[in-house]
Structure 1
Amino acid sequence: MTTTTQPSGKAFPSADGPDGPSPAAAGSDGLPALAWKPVAAVGAVLGLLLLVTSGRWGHQGDELYFLGAAEHLSWSYADNPPLMPLLASAMDGLFDGSLVGLRLPATLLTAAGTLFAALIARELGGGTRAQLRTAAVWAAVPLSMIIGHSLSASTVDIVAWTVVSWLLVAWVRRRDDRVLLAAALVTAVAMQAKYSIAFLWIAVAVSVLFVGPRPLLRRPLLWAGAAVVVVTALPGLLWQADHGWPQLDMAEVFRRESSGAVAYVGVGFFLAGVLLTVLLGYGLWQLLRSPELRPYRFLGWSFVGLFLLFLVSGGRPTYAAGLFPVLWAAGAVRMERGAPSKWWRWAVSWPVIGLFFVFSALTSLPVLPRSDDEAVAGTENNPQAAETVGWDDLVDAVEKSARSLPAKERERAVIVTEYYTEAGALDHLGSGAGLPDVYSAHRGYWYFGAPPDDTRTTIFVGSDREELLERFTEVREAATVAGKGNKVAGTKVWICTGGKQPWSKAWPELAHLY
């Protein structure tokens, strides 16, 4: 029987648990050896699945927005910091418009998440079985497959939370302040994709004040790292301040889009893998109650605080999901070392994990044949998937409408869309169709500017005739977007002339976030 020294100074045995003895030998740093071969195999399987499905069907709506936003480079945007448009533009150019290439960062980051999840288990003293179980659960849940399938800010955000969690656990055990600086650098990058990682640090600070370890908040390199984060985020924050803090308005949008507490919990339950949520709950309980995990208790309370905060404020279930790996790791380590009740152990057995890997793939990835009546299997669980089809039909309908105009009229025409995703689709996918310039007053696209005042004809995508007649003297239907079971099917395309106001005057009134 081997022992492992914990931050509390006590040693507890690496006893034979329900999975049998842990074969990992302690390394020079006192930790079990990293089970890199089985963990790498899990990551490779997940990465391969994401890779082979990443090119199916089409772009997701936010991906198209990022590509459109990249044509209007800025220090920040109404709804995102600048990293995602820059990354989308770079990958699109590097891989010549390949959807697989565009999504390669999401594929690689999500596959790498298996390693970081396993590293958390290792830092908590887990051997091969605990590391492998943590990595396998990360790979098997719908959350990972959803964030790994498309290029999104959530992908960067959740993986960054996982890395920062690992580094915080490592600091508690090692007290090496360079780890805190590394965590700050990861945070600085994450803040260029999404600001929500700031909530993680706030929750950690509050929890540390109450349950320790309080020396964490007195480390000079922690505050030096915080200064780096602030300096790197400052240009974007100044842009937000100069434009009236639209990011705060977006928080209200998400609150209004929330379906309530029951849906919040239900979606979180689904994202965490339904039965596999048992491991998450067990890990949380162990973090909050186990004497051996007492030094890491602040992470358990951080999750509780953030989960409740986003529940009552109308946030999305994914906001606190970056702490799932810590809970999985704590649960897996205690399973390896202790003897959990037999009545629930089966829920996180290897056959069940494998079964849920298949379940997650079927519900969260485009692996099933597409039918005419459903855009993607499992769109009720993953609404973003419904945005990956129908864009070609949209481009065709708008191109047909533009061709119906006389040549001279087409030269003075513009396209205005009701929603930002439609503008991104027409900007990117319609670039080779010779379409007029594209504008939208929705969300971030509104900030890219209004159509010119000398516009003669507006091809308007969306809305209805009665509403458009409030702004134009003549409105006629030109086309309807074909298709079924996707976000744009049935959308009307209108030819509008005789604007009652110049666009420069009308544009401020048209801005909308919903």
Structure 2
Amino acid sequence: MAEPLSTRAPSSLTLSFVLLAVSAGVRLALAFGTDIYFDEAYYWQWAQHPAWGYYDHPPLVAWLIAALGVRPTALLCGAGTAAAVWGLARDVYGSREAAWRAAALWSVVPVGILASVWATPDTPLLLCWALSLWALYRERWVLAGLACGLALLSKYPGVLLAVAFVAACVRARRLPAGAWLTALLGVLLFLPVVLWNARHDWVGFAFQLKHGLGGTGGWRSFGEFLAGQLALGGPVLLPLLCVYVLRGPKEQFLLRAAAAAPLLLFGYASVGTRGEANWPATAYLSACVGLAGMRPGWFRAAALANLAVVLAVGSHLLFPVLRFERDVPLARTHGWSVLSQLTEPSRLFPGLEREDVAGVYTPSYQHASEVAYYTQLPTDTAGEARYSQYDLWPELVVTPGQDALWLSEDRAPPEELVARFSSVEGPVELPADFHGRRVHTFLVWRLRDAKP
């Protein structure tokens, strides 16, 4: 399967540098050329309320955003992940050329691009996962414990690292004594998240179990899962990942197990529920290291196929030419900054000043977070909003006589909210365009004179 590294074509090293340079340019262009995505705004809201846990995920992404900012968190973690993949591949193969191939291939994996441009829990998870594999491979048990603990603080599926390591130990019939120290450090770092969940009726664990394993699905949802992997992992990389998992070198069993665990778990879960295509993102870290030791032609095919996907999607997000009836990627990445106009409510409702507005209600945590990010106004959800972190925070305080705003894209304020005010005015349209395309039409209502 693998051939001696000395016979590799020199062109693969040149291609690696080109891929890394192009990828860096794409990441920077997307980071500076798109609005804050609503999930990023949600995690930014978390960062304003530091805690050991949140309804949806553990806290590390919020801590990083609080320390570094939204986009710097993504860009720095993305660069760190590529560096960790480089280091892991160098130690696996004893070759800098193989290390550059692995890092370059990872740099154009679409799901890796997403996590290194838009700050989500995947952003620190991928970095900590790569560092954990590197430390476990070198049997640096203290570093492995710290990295594994941080992976768990990033996202609950970080526990799959332990599954992969145990599988490797069972296969080798060997459990290194230092592994107990790794486990202890990981548990100690994660323990505050467990305690936070215990104080909040286990909402974080319950939500993830229901979100990831509950619901209804079938072969259609499994097909959607496969399509998502072909898009976010790569049309060539995904089948090569399967080859690597099944027939990769025996000495790389830990890496193969770390790739198989998320793919198998979330693939199985997709039969029972509709999941998210990014959930098995960590599997592709091992895939890039494994592919760095395969035939040069396979590396080039996977790299160029992924580069084509990244350039096609990236160019559409920055300079759209094609038109789609429902352009979800464009709507998610543009048009949100227009919400900053709410900081001057008199432009929408003459006579209404900012100091007269107690806050903004919305029908979803996504809209509430975007409004909070772009206006710094207090926000809350109301109506039939999906349960979220907003339900764990105190309700928006509106004193008698104050006004509030309701913002939505498709619905009027709910009756239970309207009943708390003397009258309602609106809606006023707040359109958002990008390159001549209407990506959002926000509707704003004024809720006047809160009742006692």
TM range (shorter): 0.7 to 0.9
TM-score w.r.t. length of structure 1: 0.72
Alignment correspondent of 1:276: 237
Distance 1:417 1:332 in 2: 48
SS at match of 1:461: strand
Task: Verify: 1:148 aligned to 2:104, yes or no.
Answer: no
Q: Is the 8 A contact 1:477 1:493 kept in 2?
A: yes
Task: Verify: 1:353 aligned to 2:303, yes or no.
Answer: yes
Alignment correspondent of 2:191: 234
Distance 2:135 2:327 in 1: 35
Amino acid at match of 2:74: A
Q: Is the 8 A contact 1:43 1:112 kept in 2?
A: no
SS at match of 2:445: strand
Equivalent positions of 1:61-140 (< 5 A) are: 61-92=38-69, 102-125=70-93, 127-140=95-108
Amino acid at match of 2:279: Y
TM-score w.r.t. length of structure 2: 0.81
Match of 1:389 among 316, 334, 348: 334
Alignment correspondent of 2:443: 492
Q: Is the 8 A contact 1:138 1:144 kept in 2?
A: yes
Equivalent positions of 1:124-203 (< 5 A) are: 124-125=92-93, 127-171=95-139, 179-203=140-164
Q: Is the 8 A contact 1:283 1:328 kept in 2?
A: no
Q: Is the 8 A contact 1:415 1:438 kept in 2?
A: yes
Shift of 1:484: 5.5
Task: Verify: 1:324 aligned to 2:292, yes or no.
Answer: no
Task: Verify: 1:477 aligned to 2:426, yes or no.
Answer: yes
Alignment correspondent of 1:341: none
Shift of 1:406: 5.1
Amino acid at match of 1:396: Q
Distance 2:38 2:53 in 1: 19
Distance 2:301 2:353 in 1: 66
SS at match of 1:197: helix
Question: What are the Cα deviations for residues 99-155 of structure 1, in whole angstroms up to 9, with x where unaligned?
Answer: xxx423322332343333333333333645543432332122212211111122111
Q: 1:122 to 1:202 in 2, by over 3 A?
A: same
Alignment correspondent of 1:460: 406
Shift of 1:415: 1.4
Q: Is the 8 A contact 2:108 2:307 kept in 1?
A: yes
Equivalent positions of 1:405-484 (< 5 A) are: 411=356, 413-431=358-376, 437-440=378-381, 443-452=388-397, 454-456=399-401, 457-462=403-408, 468-473=414-419, 474-483=423-432
Tell me the C-alpha RMSD between the 2 structures.
Answer: 3.8
Q: Is the 8 A contact 2:77 2:123 kept in 1?
A: yes
Shift of 1:197: 0.6
| Count of residues paired in the alignment | 433
Amino acid at match of 1:161: W
Shift of 1:240: 1.7
Shift of 1:190: 2.5
Alignment correspondent of 2:33: 56
Shift of 1:278: 3.8
Q: Is the 8 A contact 2:82 2:107 kept in 1?
A: yes
Q: 1:128 to 1:74 in 2, by over 3 A?
A: closer
Amino acid at match of 2:156: Y
SS at match of 1:483: strand
Alignment correspondent of 1:208: 168
* Percent of paired sites with the same residue: 21
Distance 1:409 1:118 in 2: 51
SS at match of 1:215: coil
SS at match of 2:281: helix
Shift of 1:59: 0.9
Distance 1:131 1:451 in 2: 52
Question: What are the Cα deviations for residues 141-192 of structure 1, in whole angstroms up to 9, with x where unaligned?
Answer: 2122111111221111122222222333333xxxxxxx12211111222333
Distance 2:15 2:88 in 1: 16
Distance 2:315 2:57 in 1: 25
* Greater Rg by CA: 1
Distance 1:308 1:22 in 2: 34
Match of 1:250 among 197, 207, 213: 207
Amino acid at match of 2:313: T
SS at match of 1:451: coil
Unaligned runs of 5+ in 1: 1-11, 24-34, 93-101, 172-178, 288-292, 337-344, 503-514
Distance 2:398 2:98 in 1: 64
Shift of 1:364: 4.3
Q: Is the 8 A contact 1:192 1:233 kept in 2?
A: yes
Amino acid at match of 1:411: D
SS at match of 1:491: strand
Distance 1:141 1:326 in 2: 12
Alignment correspondent of 1:333: 293
Distance 2:35 2:102 in 1: 32
Q: Is the 8 A contact 1:185 1:228 kept in 2?
A: yes
Alignment correspondent of 2:7: 20
Unaligned runs of 5+ in 2: none
Q: Is the 8 A contact 1:81 1:193 kept in 2?
A: yes
Q: Is the 8 A contact 2:399 2:450 kept in 1?
A: no
